[in-house]
Structure 1
């Protein structure tokens, strides 16, 4: 596995590689834009943000959501990308159909995703790890038809795979079926994450580009503190893509990064603690 520390950094005073996260805020700091920005910063990148929603949540769950006006979400993207420039973009919690439409339009206008200038990682967040909805029920179709076709790589967990494709992944064969179904929806690369496949002692991820299946397995880290794992993985993929890595190389890098974060995950509050990218600080 690639050493998860190896992304190029720049000397102090020089401008680092820039990326953008388009996602919701987690007041508990474990997931969402907080997890994305922590990952980007620790990997030596400058993070820009388009906030889609503010959640009221802690380690026990989500108790409130305040969506941002769609035109404000799109305006954040239009303000940042032409001025600062970004090497890749990652989406997370998108909340509603109007917000998704605004983001998809902005991506078209700014050459984001769809195999164009700026790579796009779509993490199709539908619910929190506690099962709290983070995507309106009537927004799933918009996510499928507007965002997934723009994705250079789409990164659902198994619950999200079931919602998007109707396929219940229980083994390697159904994982392949799901990857094909996701690719058929328009994503250039489909990643079916196996972290929730609890019957396996490994954590098996499967990547598919319409021609080739690439399987990547790591040992499963048994910890109750895995809040933000999906966000962290997608952010690390985004960071590697911004440095010009291919999607398979970016996944290998990100898998190593999140595995180290799970190894050093820590308890927090009365519920689930977060994946810990701060492992790098202590080395």
Structure 2
């Protein structure tokens, strides 16, 4: 699909104009808020030529030897004087990163317990877990952490979130949200964060686990009859492995009209196939699911 100048530019077109990958554009958008595309009524993002100019300026500053954070700071000083500066990492996040770098599982678990107890679940998820996962991803992408550091730290975090879910006290008769990664998607932590947020709003949650077969997801929908099914795609790998996956999901959704199907995650937002969903709803925030 192509757009005209008045409508705006799709992320694919911005990628072609700037030479940046779609993943990098979305990462800069989500983490730093430098570009703020509007949303079309169908849900996909539309960028302006001003956004393209901003991205090109960042590229130019990086080519002159500035780090990404330095380039963003210079750009804010030049063009966005009223921008809110990036929040520093909390002491808990800094300590967790130190423990993870040293493979200290017991230390990780202790700091997670302390932060959860100190701040409560909602603030713990927002101000500890989410920035921690972003930092871990960035450290791994830059080669400052190896795969074992990322894997061990992520496993401790995942297990801790799962334990919170299992011990969460809900009254009988709470409506059910079934959460599942897509086939070939192994990143579970974003899904567990969302399910915990749903539980704080009174929903009973069930998680299907990483990389289930499509038939297993359908079996669970058939047996559990959840009011909502939330499918998570942190990466675009599921759709690269199976180009017809979205069509199969739409087919499944048509067979279970009493269950609302939602699809979310960064692997979804950059995929052109989602420009015109029929039965499935694209979720950008937790509010899109709960409302």
State the TM-score, normalizing by the size of structure 2: 0.31
- By percentage of residues, which structure has more strand? 1
- By percentage of residues, which structure has more helix? 2
Which protein shows a greater Rg? Answer: 2
State the TM-score, normalizing by the size of structure 1: 0.31
